[in-house]
Amino acid sequence: MQFTHEVEQMCCVAKGPKHGPAPIPQEGKWTKAKEITEISGLTHGVGWCAPQQGACKLTLNVKDGIIQEALVETIGCSGMTHSAAMAAEILPGKTILEALNTDLVCDAINTAMRELFLQIVYGRTQTAFSEGGLPIGAGLEDLKQLRSITGTMYGTSEKGVRYLEMAEGYVTGLALDEDNQVIGYEFVNLGKMMEAVNSGKEEILNMPTKDLIKKFQKTYGRFADAAKVINPRQA
């Protein structure tokens, strides 16, 4: 370690009281973290790229400073899905400090990592007051039928609103009343439908496409009272 001439000429002044780190809440305990290995917690955060073309929701489960679980969800930019695939492979096994200084391919994912780092090291995690935190796999449980919860709506002043995707599923019909106002919608739960298809049951695999879709189709609101139903993607 090098010192300037001015510092070398100074006399020593004794240090007073020891000011250690403030305790932070972590998985039901108060911790005075000094090392990265003393950091734990599960949390979520959102990041965005510089041109704001897309966003990333990142979920990390950190145990003893090491990322044990990562869930990467993206929206907007089509290239982000490939970046997310790489980030999901890169993140587990790294310390959060390593991850903060790793190129996660996409600016939105890098920004999400930065935001999560701040939450985690300051004890602002979802599991701050949960004794023992959450087990590895808790991030995956946030997904319904292993699909992200995405809402996609479109509207114009000339033609009004179109519901395209709800948390429940892919919207196939928009119910309108006599005044052409939306009173409900019909949707297909794609997650449950694909679970059934992947089960390999003959009754499902041999079912005509129309019947298969109808089996996993449900309605919301006053759909039965509709004066007319439109396809939001065609009408």
- pLDDT < 70 positions in the chain: none
- The helix or strand, by DSSP H or E, that contains position 73, with its residue range, turns out to be strand 66-75
Query: Exposed/middle/buried for 179, CB within 10 Å: 0-12, 13-18, 19+?
Result: exposed
**SS3 assignment, position 217:** strand
pLDDT digits (tens, 9 = 90+) for 58-75: 999 999 999 999 999 999
* pLDDT at residue 76, rounded to an integer: 87
DSSP state, 28? T
For the record, the structure tokens of 27 come out as 């998985």
Please give the pLDDT value at position 68. Answer: 97
Give the model's pLDDT for residue 145: 74
pLDDT digits (tens, 9 = 90+) for 25-53: 999 999 999 999 999 999 999 999 988 99
DSSP notation for 151-185: -EEEEETTTEEEEEE-SS-EEEEEEE-TTS-EEEE
- Torsion, Cα of 109, 50, 98, 119 (10° steps): -70
pLDDT tens sequence across 175-196: 999 999 999 999 999 999 999 9
